[in-house]
């Protein structure tokens, strides 16, 4: 794999800008794994298709069992999954003992051979692109396969859909510095995170926020006595923190309920926690929903209790529906979306007392909810699909000059 990285993408001759539509490839870990990356990729693929571009989403592996996002039958773009099952995992080589481990060497050789085989499939797809083609790698793990493929004549864009701090705490940090250092542009979600990557001596960094997922014609009137949370029931989403905050708020507002939309491996433990905290009767476990706008229209306050985020879609959806948010300020993307005190309220990361206080403030004051909700609906339009697609088109033109 090292040899494939010796040809810096940025040093390749770039094609002249096309007069017509482009071929745009999105490459992700999976085409259809539940989560924000899939939602974002499919939204952007649809938007680019509507602009007349020819779009293809490529996934490296199938999604894990229980994490399948069902795809519509009428997608206006192509999808391809390279592997029929997940390739064998290998552990890092540590010392002479690992180097001499015959079984591990065979496993590593099989994985590398498989990677080259799948990269060849990608090369065949890339070679069908017209001049001006673009490859957008949404997750750096997928870049390990793209780095082995023939990308001659294509503009290469690598993305990090998480905050700098979250990435730095993971193995992805080293991969980003290695695999994205020579792409034509590496994109973060906020200017603040872009500046931090630039300080890591990466000189190809820009930023591109997520587009607004939807903008409903009919917003919430914020009269329903309901706080809503939408997200996977996973430790990172901090639903346990939300329940602890709710336990401090609920006794003062016995006619209000907390609706938790989502599913996940922690649901049973979270239900037990709600019972232990004495709020089981005021918490509604709604499961996954296919009608997010409807769920938000029937709410008055949105709660984002995550321990980590990139540029979260859920509060954008709430704000578009004129529902003010209470959130932990865990990433630049959060305070880029929510302006504290104007269209929502932010609490320091993990500060349950402050989070609960903010919930109580909005629950207690309908006039404040209305003022912040209307401001939220107005302010979030700076991330309209028209605005973000226009920024992408400008970026495509810029990097191919």
Q: What is the pLDDT of residue 96?
A: 67
**Same domain, yes or no: 39 and 116:** yes
pLDDT at res. 97: 66
Taking the model in full, what pTM does it have? 0.85
Q: Which residues pair with 206 in a beta bridge?
A: 187
Dist CA 137 CA 142 (whole Å) = 7
pLDDT for 3 equals: 33
Residue 104 and residue 335: Cα distance in Å, rounded?
Answer: 46
Q: Are residues 350 and 236 in the same domain?
A: yes
My answer on whether 282 and 295 are in the same domain is yes
Whether residue 36 lies inside any domain: the answer is yes
- 377 and 307 share one domain: yes
Q: Is residue 243 part of a domain?
A: yes
Taking each helix axis as running N to C, give the angle between helix 267-276 and helix 239-249, from 0 to 180 degrees, rounded to the nearest 10: 20
Number of domains the chain contains:
2
Are both 113 and 130 inside the same structural domain? yes
For the sheet containing 325-328, what is the strand order?
A: 283-287, 257-261, 226-230, 301-304, 325-328, 344-347
Residue 221 within a domain: no
Write the CA distances from 397 to 16, 19, 90, integer angstroms: 9, 11, 40
Q: Do 83 and 197 have their domain in common?
A: yes
Question: Count H helices, E strands: the chain?
Answer: 15, 13
Low-confidence ranges of the chain (pLDDT < 70): 1-20, 90-100, 401
Alpha helices in 308-351 (DSSP H): 313-320, 332-337
Q: Does residue 23 fall inside a structural domain?
A: yes
Report DSSP state, residue 106.
Answer: H
Quick one: 131 and 206 in the same domain?
A: yes
Per-residue pLDDT reduced to its tens digit, 45-97? 999 999 999 999 999 999 988 888 888 888 999 999 999 988 877 666 666 66
Residue 218 domain flag: no
Examine the domain organization and report whether 53 and 199 are in the same domain: yes
Q: Distance between CA atoms of 3 and 152, rounded to whole angstroms?
A: 16
Residue 375 belongs to domain spanning:
226-383
324 plus 391 within the same structural domain: no
Which CATH number does the domain housing residue 303 bear? 3.40.50.2000
Q: How far is CA 190 from CA 113, 159, 160, 342, in A?
A: 37, 12, 10, 20
Phi, psi of 79 (to 5 degrees): -135, 145
**Could you tell me the maximum CA-CA distance found in the chain, to the nearest angstrom?**
70
Residue 216 in any domain: the answer is no
User: Could you tell me if 203 and 295 lie in one domain?
Assistant: no
At how many degrees (to 10) do helices 313-320 and 36-50 cross? 60
Closest CA to 380 of 296, 259, 306: 296
Can you point out the beta strands (E) in 104-239? 134-137, 155-159, 185-188, 205-207, 226-230
Q: Do 278 and 324 fall into the same domain?
A: yes
Does 173 map to a domain?
yes
Domain assignment of residue 327, yes or no? yes
239, 277: one domain: yes
């Amino acid at each position: 794999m090292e040899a494939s990285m010796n040809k810096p993408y940025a040093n390749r001759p770039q094609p002249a800008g096309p007069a017509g539509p482009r071929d745009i490839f999105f490459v992700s870990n999976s085409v259809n794994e539940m989560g924000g990356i899939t939602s974002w990729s499919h939204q952007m693929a649809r938007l680019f298709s509507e602009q007349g571009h020819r779009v293809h989403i490529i996934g490296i592996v199938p999604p894990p069992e229980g994490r399948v996002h069902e795809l519509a039958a009428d997608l206006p773009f192509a999808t391809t999954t390279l592997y029929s099952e997940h390739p064998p995992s290998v552990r890092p080589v540590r010392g002479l003992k690992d180097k001499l481990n015959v079984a591990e060497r065979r496993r590593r050789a099989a994985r590398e051979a498989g990677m080259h085989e799948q990269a060849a499939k990608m090369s065949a797809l890339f070679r069908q692109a017209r001049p001006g083609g673009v490859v957008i790698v949404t997750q750096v793990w997928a870049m390990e396969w793209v780095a082995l493929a023939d990308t001659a004549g294509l503009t290469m864009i690598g993305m990090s859909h998480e905050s700098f701090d979250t990435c730095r705490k993971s193995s992805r940090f080293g991969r980003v510095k290695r695999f994205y250092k020579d792409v034509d542009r590496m994109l973060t979600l906020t200017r603040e995170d872009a500046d931090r990557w630039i300080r890591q001596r990466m000189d190809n960094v820009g930023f591109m926020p997520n587009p607004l997922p939807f903008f409903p014609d009919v917003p919430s009137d914020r009269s329903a006595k309901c706080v809503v949370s939408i997200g996977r029931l996973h430790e990172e989403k901090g639903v346990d923190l939300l329940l602890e905050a709710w336990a401090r708020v609920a006794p003062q507002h016995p006619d209000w309920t907390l609706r938790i939309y989502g599913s996940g491996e922690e649901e049973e433990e979270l239900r037990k926690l709600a019972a232990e905290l004495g709020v089981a009767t005021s918490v509604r476990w709604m499961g996954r929903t296919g009608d997010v706008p409807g769920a938000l229209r029937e709410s008055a306050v949105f709660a984002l209790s995550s321990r980590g985020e990139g540029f979260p879609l859920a509060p954008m959806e709430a704000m578009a529906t004129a529902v003010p948010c209470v959130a932990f300020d865990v990433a630049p993307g959060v305070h880029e979306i929510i302006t504290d005190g104007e269209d929502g309220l932010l609490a320091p990361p993990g500060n349950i007392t402050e989070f609960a206080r903010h919930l109580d403030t909005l629950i207690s004051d309908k006039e404040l909810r209305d003022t912040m909700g209307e401001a939220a609906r107005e302010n979030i339009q700076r991330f309209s699909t028209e605005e973000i697609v226009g920024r992408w088109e400008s970026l495509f033109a810029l990097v191919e000059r």
